[in-house]
Amino acid sequence: KTGRSPRDKRVVEESATVDDVWWGPVNKKLSAESFAANYERAANYLNTQDHMYVFDGFAGWDPRYRIKVRVVCARAYHALFMNNMLIRPTAEELENFGEPDFTIINAGQYPAEEFADGMTSSTSVAISFERRQMVILGTEYAGEMKKGVFTVMHYLMPKAGVLSLHSSCNEGPRGDVSLFFGLSGTGKTTLSADPARLLIGDDEHVWTDTGVFNIEGGCYAKAIDLSAKKEPEIFNAIRFGSVLENVVYDEQTRAVDYSDRSITENTRCAYPIEYIPSAKVPCIGGHPKNIILLTCDAFGVLPPVSKLTPAQAMYHFISGYTAKIAGTEEGVTEPEATFSACFGQPFLVWHPVKYAQMLAQKMQEHNAHVWLVNTGWSGGSYGTGKRISLKHSRAIIDAIHSGELEKATYTNYGAFNLQIPQAVFKVPDRLLNPSDAWTGNPEEFSSTLAKLAQLFQANFKTYADKATPDIVAAGPQL
């Protein structure tokens, strides 16, 4: 497969965790008996192979919270992928590794029994917290292992009293740390790979009482249309040891055509984090000063940047609005408006409000500034407008980090009650207000804005009963 299969993810219903898990479409229940059958099916397949690969690594750079992960698979590609994505132990750590805290059994070449209890297809990605195992059948997409580890940490860390986050993270010359939230395709990896700042990590972090740490030892970047000019840090990280996925290349010269979409839009590269020259190793930083919520608005009515109040920050964090980008999940061929709680709903284990409450507490304790940054469409909806250019998104991020936007003059923006700056260095003024940038008629803009506001309101009804009145009121008002 060329992308994740969220509909085939299962969590075993077990007495120790049944009251913790947010059951529903994200976490579908699987019986212990069905999981055991899947494990046996995977183990039997692996036992028939001429070669088997085992990789031991860590998840989490902070020794207080790291877990030991063992990967057992039949493909060298999968072992190398996880060698890049987990934290690679030293020779001494490997010698004293002992028993793992969690084991991934990847028999992705072999199908699941789709007519067995709890299965809906020949693909199965199942996690048992009690057995401390993950079993993969019927998909060879390596990203399932990466996100499986994150799902495990997304359960264990809040249970330990620290906050796991689907975010990238970097650090400025003055030690100022920024967190970037956003689903795949919003620019999270690209915008955090900034040569002027140290990269702590591109996707998964934990915020503790001492600051933040990266869960991973590598980066997993989208490679579609990659070029040395647009994304030099990522482009230059593709060298011996990196893993390219879903790409088309010339078999004679081995030159990759990064513009080729014939397999999928979801072309990827996995590489050790130290392949980024500006990586900070160990991948640990202080408390964040700026929190940036990235969204890819397919309607073209959200501003490129707006400053959020604490209540608005919670509202937009819980909402997690973006557009699914073609290729990241199977069956998605063009941007599709969606809401993904905490900017990472497919990986949540606890109820979204638990993560939001922990984040609110951290923000308050450390006086963090929160920004909503739209890297999606401007001038019109998808199909008529244009994607906001990377250079303008970078200029906005630079203005946040320089402190320019802290001192800026703001105006109020419509139904969403957002505060948008009147000017940003190197960004056209007309781009900052979506109503000014809109190329269609004003009535069309108003109706599109109202449509998105209604989608926000309808989505938030799911969480309104557990949210405080000020958070509910921080959403769009028609």
Catalytically annotated residues = 4, 147, 166, 184, 188-189, 203, 268
- Is the peptide bond between 476 and the residue preceding it cis, with omega within 30 degrees of 0? no
Asked whether the beta carbons of 55 and 86 are under 8 A apart, the reply is yes
Rounded Cα distance, 228 and 82, in Å: 25
Rounded Cα distance, 348 and 154, in Å: 6
For the chain, the straight-line distance linking the first and the last C-alpha, in angstroms and rounded, comes to 42
Contacts of 465 (CB under 8 A, 6+ apart): none
Asked whether the beta carbons of 68 and 149 are under 8 A apart, the reply is no
Torsions phi, psi for 85 (to 5 deg): -90, -30
Contacts of 288 (CB under 8 A, 6+ apart): 169, 177, 178, 179, 207, 212, 366, 368
Rounded Cα distance, 54 and 217, in Å: 17
